[in-house]
Structure 1
């Protein structure tokens, strides 16, 4: 069993949001497994993108991923674009062909989140100055960063009803 990662307190608000992102992945898999309609799944994906993922990516890109020439940062930025592309692809897919793309999105987001937590954040903690980390912390703690979700349709928890 993996022991919990000790995160620099200044990065904890962003790290906590990763928990919600991993739950998002699980919920997508549950929705596919329960054969939830594509329309319901798409609505949730777009809601999560707008309310959680987009603000999260914006925060990371503006505060943490400033050294864009760094290969590890560049990988995270590329993955952000791949995730957005997959969400856009899902929007265009019809009912019959959307589940595969949803599972691909779930895997992509899961792998990306684990990359950030296990590799990129520890790397940034080593390479960013204490002063810069403290400044990041001041900015993050002044904003709302939580893993709470209040989506109205808990399709992942119920039997498949229209």
Structure 2
């Protein structure tokens, strides 16, 4: 097992948030493995999207990425954000698809989990170390202050833990 990546204290909260994103991906996988009805999983996707993904992406983009908006690595992360958002909003939780048990749901949920997992790995292994090198200590400290003020509290008290067991 590899050692955890040492992160600058100013952006450690973003890295902690990524733990919840990886757990979200695992829960989707567990739900699919248990063959849970996909509308149940999609309801969790909608919940997590609203409580975690939207605020997390906003914090990264409005507090950290704004310091280097023209950088190709930052642009790649923002593009990934848009792709993940589009997949969730248009393919999984759109009103006409939310409660339907559609044949493509398993593939879309798998794709979502894979894309989000890859995105987190990209930010943790490539983008954040790069930004830590490029940004000044003063910039990083300002990021830390803004994140401390803005940071949402990851809330995953979802009432239907489908990933733990089958419904009887």
Contact 1:21 1:113 in 2 (8 A): yes
Other structure's SS at 2:93 match: helix
CA distance in 2, matches of 1:160, 1:75: 40
2:160 to 141, 153, 158: 153
1:56-95 equivalences under 5 Å are: 56-66=56-66, 67-88=68-89, 89-92=91-94, 93=97, 94-95=100-101
Other structure's SS at 1:46 match: helix
1:127 to 114, 134, 146: 134
Pairwise CA distance, 1:90: 1.8
1:103-142 equivalences under 5 Å are: 103-142=110-149
TM-score, scaled relative to structure 1: 0.94
TM-score, scaled relative to structure 2: 0.91
CA distance in 1, matches of 2:129, 2:135: 10
CA distance in 1, matches of 2:153, 2:122: 20
Other structure's SS at 1:111 match: helix
> Which aligned runs of 4 or more in structure 1 are off by greater than 3 angstroms?
143-148
> More displaced, 16-25 or 81-90?
81-90
Q: CA RMSD in A?
A: 1.4
